Amino acid sequence: MALEKVQEVDQIEIKGEYSIQVRQATKVLDDGKQIGGVSYHRHVVHPDSSLDNEDAKVKKIADSLFDDDCKHAWQLQQHGYPSGDPSDSWSKAQLGKYCSSRGIDYNAMNAEGQGGDSKAELLEKIAAASEE
């Protein structure tokens, strides 16, 4: 009687533009025959997820689905600003969100999107904060 625990990815689903849902089945085998039920674990892979511990099939799907454009769009959707270093090409709102996420003090614009620090002032504050 040799008991063996077997784990395998038995289902991979693409859910929307930014998600791969992975289901892993765990079975207990006795001399190659399944005993008891199957337990399942699910997790979701996004464009910024580490693929280090993923099944080879999941890695292939993620590599083909999550190109650079997709990763940039995911970053923008999740954080409100593009990936990479802040630049003059970013909007004032994106620079403000970047400052907020990094704890950089700035003068925010009002509800109508007016007032507050200019783009140049926000970029100066970001640069000063990175030098600290």
For 38-61, the pLDDT digits (tens) are 999 999 999 999 999 999 999 999
Mean pLDDT, the chain, integer: 92
Express as a percent the part of the chain with pLDDT over 70. 98
Specify the higher pLDDT residue, 38 or 84: 38
Mean predicted confidence (pLDDT) in 16-36: 94
Residue 1 has pLDDT above 90, yes or no: no
Rounded CA gap, 52 and 90, in Å? 32
User: Model confidence over 97-126: pLDDT tens digits?
Assistant: 999 999 999 998 777 767 889 999 999 999
- What's residue 34's pLDDT? 92
33-45 vs 3-15, strand pairing mode: unpaired
Task: Please tell me whether residue 83 adopts helix, strand or coil conformation.
Answer: coil
Q: What is the helix (H) or strand (E) element at residue 79, kind and residue range?
A: helix 68-79
Task: For residue 19, give the amino acid letter.
Answer: S
Rounded CA gap, 82 and 9, in Å? 33
Rounded CA gap, 23 and 25, in Å? 7
